[in-house]
Structure 1
Amino acid sequence: MNMEHFRNGLLLILLSIAGCGQQSSQFSTKLDLVSEQAVQERTAAAFSVAQTPNRSSEIDEADSGALEDDQTSKVAKSNRRIVYNTHLSLVVKEYAIFESELPDLVDQHGGFISNSETNRRYNNRQSGLWVARIPVANYVDFLQGVTGLGFAESRTEDAQDVTAEFVDVEARIRNNKKLEERIITMLEERTGKLSDVLEIERELSRVREEVERMEGRLRVLADRSSLATITIKCREEKEYVPPASPTFSSRIQMSWSESINAMKQTGENIAIAAIAVLPWLFVFAVPILVSVAVGRRILRKRSK
């Protein structure tokens, strides 16, 4: 402790000698810095002496570090902004049952239906298109529930991370609001020419318009990242049988039927082409016959 007092006293003397002619505020600031540095050194020395590392403390530190990393990862995941877009194609036996059960399922998961459309097809079969907005926290559970209402023919999921754009737009909004405050202060203090005042007001209008545009974009990102969008195409098939793995005999039957259909289609195309050409034959037949008759008469006269 005596050595520390001696060192601090020596530093004070050196500072007093080197700081002659300077202001007392600068001297006190340096003195505070030196005192703070001395306190930090004493604290670090006391901590190093009192610290006795052993195996159990290392394990505790490792566990606490792992816990902190886990908490950090959870916070990072919770702060992510993900836009989910899913397209689902369903086949159901009774469209009316699906039409009554889907709204209840959406309500159970805290969402809403933003768009729906129902169509009737041949033999009174129905099909429809539904667009549901579901909170991201209930997104997976809702997909499991809606796929249980019928047979899922296809499913396409798209997840877009917009966290970086969201953070960037937030930062730009903050910066532009600070700029807006500075422009307002400048406008209040300005007493010069009218042209200068008008120029400042135009700049203020531009900044405010930019802030409003970015706030609109931020609202769009917040909406799309907080609610997942699920588009459901549903069609009714009374006797629908899910496709099975093809066997050797089924592949032969498929090839035979495809060949017969191809031959049939080719014959129909030839017949349609011939029928399409017939009117043109009648149109060109008369001039051709007249030309041939005139040519024969000319040849006969020359031969005589």
Structure 2
Amino acid sequence: MKKTLFSILFSLALAASLAGCGGAASSTAAARASYSSMDSAPQAYAADAGGTAAEAAGTSDLSDAVQNSADLLPQDGRKIILNATLSIEALDFNATCTALARAAQSCGGYVSSTSIDTPAYEGAYRTAYYQFRIPAEQYSVFLDGAGSAGNLVSKQESTQDVTSAYVDVEARLKSLKLQEERLYAMMEQAGDLETLLAIQNQLTEVQYQIESYTAQQRTYDDLISYSTVDVTVEEVKQITEKTETFGDRVSDAFRRSWRDFGYGAQDFAVGFVAALPTLLVLAVLAAVAVTAARAAVRLHKKRLAGRPAPAPRTPADYAPQNGNEAETGKDAPPSTPPKYK
């Protein structure tokens, strides 16, 4: 009985695996073929458009037509994630932030996260950090609107092509769902409890993988359908002008360095005032320590002055105590060298 049950389970698992692998391979191949056909169609159109333009206006028109069609390739059926980072200077900080919010709202987007740094001391400038989620079809429109909200200092754009990964996820999901259907059919035909439990365990694993790949597919869909735009807004007193000549660059650098020096001086003054109580306590402790040291030195000098001075030593002090002993040692007076005639 056990051998028969084991053979049935092994045959069923092998058949489901082979069917799933075959379905995944065919699904992946079909999906990639469809995306390849999507990629080749714009290229063929570009070639036709280039040929027509060349007949009408020459070789330069042909290159322009090919270039314009190449710019549209990421839009034609591929899975592209769009990201951008903007840095904006604002003379009117509140007005610029409001204009950014309105631009996102008009494009159907929303603010994913925001952070505003407001220094504690008066006269300091504020900085805001925004992350916008904008529909992919309104991506360029929002960039134009955000750039006009203030002085656009820098703009960085990036794209990520996830077509291959997306196709793989779709193929795996299709294969897993096919396995799920076959496992349900096997459960209906199971003749005993042990076989039913074995099929149920395998079905649980397949369902877990389906949920995991479904969540991954939803993440891709969200990133593809809504682009991510990070915007930094910096409040300034004077906007950075676009310099071209060497003299303008030197002048702008000098103004910025002088402005930064002013900010640094203000920060130093604020820090000094904040540390002033600690400095006062340390100064008092140092004064007490110096006073105590001076008092100890004066007391020591007084003690030395109260002691009697030692009496001067006479030649008798250097005389030997025993006449038979030679005068030796450190206390003996120096001998007079003999005189030679």
TM-score (norm 2): 0.52
Cα RMSD after superposing both structures = 4.9
1:234 aligns with 2:233: yes
Counterpart for residue 105 of structure 2: 107
Alignment partners' CA distance in 2, 1:222 and 1:99: 29
| Cα-to-partner distance string for 1:141-167 (whole Å, 9 max, x where unaligned) | 210111111112222222111111111
Alignment partners' CA distance in 2, 1:216 and 1:117: 29
Q: Residues 108 and 169 (structure 1 numbering): CA distance in 2 closer, same or farther, change over 3 Å?
A: same
SS of aligned partner of 1:144: helix
Counterpart for residue 213 of structure 2: 214
SS of aligned partner of 1:164: helix
| Cα-to-partner distance string for 1:255-297 (whole Å, 9 max, x where unaligned) | x98xx9xxxxxxxxxxxxxxxxxxxxxxxxxxxxxxxxxxxxx
Question: Could you tell me how far 1:199 is from its partner in structure 2?
Answer: 1.6
SS of aligned partner of 1:247: helix
SS of aligned partner of 1:157: strand
SS of aligned partner of 2:123: helix
Question: Could you tell me how far 1:214 is from its partner in structure 2?
Answer: 0.3
**Letter matched to residue 220 of structure 2:** L
Q: Could you tell me the percent identity over the aligned residues?
A: 24
Q: Residues 193 and 69 (structure 1 numbering): CA distance in 2 closer, same or farther, change over 3 Å?
A: farther
Q: Residues 128 and 170 (structure 1 numbering): CA distance in 2 closer, same or farther, change over 3 Å?
A: same
Instruction: Output aligned runs, 1:117-196, within 5 Å.
Output: 117-121=115-119, 122-123=122-123, 125-192=125-192, 194=194, 196=195
Counterpart for residue 11 of structure 1: none
Q: Residues 101 and 79 (structure 1 numbering): CA distance in 2 closer, same or farther, change over 3 Å?
A: same
Higher relative contact order (CA 8 A, sep 6+): 1
| Cα-to-partner distance string for 1:223-259 (whole Å, 9 max, x where unaligned) | 001111111111211x2131554429749969x98xx
Counterpart for residue 30 of structure 1: none
Alignment partners' CA distance in 1, 2:235 and 2:43: 53
1:201 aligns with 2:200: yes
Alignment partners' CA distance in 2, 1:241 and 1:169: 48
Alignment partners' CA distance in 2, 1:151 and 1:250: 19
**Letter matched to residue 116 of structure 2:** T
Structure 2 gap segments, 5+ residues each: 1-40, 49-68, 262-341
Q: Residues 250 and 77 (structure 1 numbering): CA distance in 2 closer, same or farther, change over 3 Å?
A: closer
**Letter matched to residue 117 of structure 2:** N
The answer to which of 79-88 and 166-175 deviates more is 79-88
1:89 aligns with 2:87: yes
Greater gyration radius: 2
| Cα-to-partner distance string for 1:183-208 (whole Å, 9 max, x where unaligned) | 111111111352x3212111100000
* Equivalent residues of 2:86, 2:154 under 8 A apart: yes
TM-score (norm 1): 0.57
- Matched residue count: 237
Q: Residues 172 and 103 (structure 1 numbering): CA distance in 2 closer, same or farther, change over 3 Å?
A: same
Structure 1 gap segments, 5+ residues each: 1-63, 261-304
